Chains A and B, each alone.
Chain A
Amino acid sequence: DADVTQTPRNRITKTGKRIMLECSQTKGHDRMYWYRQDPGLGLRLIYYSFDVKDINKGEISDGYSVSRQAQAKFSLSLESAIPNQTALYFCATSDLSGGPETQYFGPGTRLLVL
């Protein structure tokens, strides 16, 4: 089984709808991240969490919110989806045990906002 899972894998929604993307991990890592990927751009950080009580905005957090329900779960919400939020979304986890950080990515969620 995959260490980092994302649901759904694909989602089509309409402008104005609220949607939630979920991420679960079995790696036991404290740190979790949400990124979005757009054609021609590198991955950009939306939110990150270093533990259950720690939530931080990334470089493009406007229009998004997150919830860290448990060490293993980190959800991303779009309160009112808009077309320019159409993108590929990745969850990632990491820890710092033993040296420089390595991030482990989920399979991605492809979101289309009509």
Chain B
Amino acid sequence: KNEVEQSPQNLTAQEGEFITINCSYSVGISALHWLQQHPGGGIVSLFMLSSGKKKHGRLIATINIQEKHSSLHITASHPRDSAVYICAVASGTYKYIFGTGTRLKVLA
């Protein structure tokens, strides 16, 4: 069993829909990151969370440390949100453990 599990693996939505991507982990962490990987391959960091909730534009990330679970929400989704979203947990002083990603496609 992977230490970081994401669901769903693939998601297709219509423009304007509210989207939720989930991440569960089984190890102790110092922080959890949500990353976005565009079709060209580049990876950018969206959020780093150690507790609570963060919001940036139409993106909202939450984490429940007790339940070892995080969610990434996208409100009013747009085709430019189409990407792979990766959950990564920081475990220890340097080690990241990555989920396998959720491939999101938003249709116009």
A residues contacting B by CB (< 8 A) are 31, 40-45, 48, 50, 88, 90, 96, 100-105, 107-108, 110
Contact = CB atoms under 8 A, between A and B. Distances in A.
B100 A40 contact: yes
B94 A42 contact: no
Interface of B: 2, 4, 30-31, 33, 35, 40-45, 48, 50, 86, 88, 90, 93-101
A50 to B, nearest CB: 7
A102 B43 CA distance: 13
Contacts of A102: 33, 45, 48
A105 B94 CA distance: 15
Q: Which 4 A-B pairs have the closest CB atoms?
A: A42-B98, A100-B31, A105-B43, A108-B41
A78 to B, nearest CB: 19
A102 B48 CA distance: 7
Nearest to A43: B98
Nearest to A94: B94
Contacts of B95: 45
B31 A42 contact: no
Taking each of A41, A42, A48, A103, which has the highest tally of chain B beta carbons within 10 Å of its own beta carbon? A42
B4 to A, nearest CB: 7
A41 B100 contact: yes
Nearest to A40: B100
A88 B100 contact: no
A45 B96 CA distance: 8
A100 B48 contact: yes
A105 B100 contact: no
Given A42-B4, A42-B86, A100-B50, A105 B44 contact: yes
A42 B89 CA distance: 12
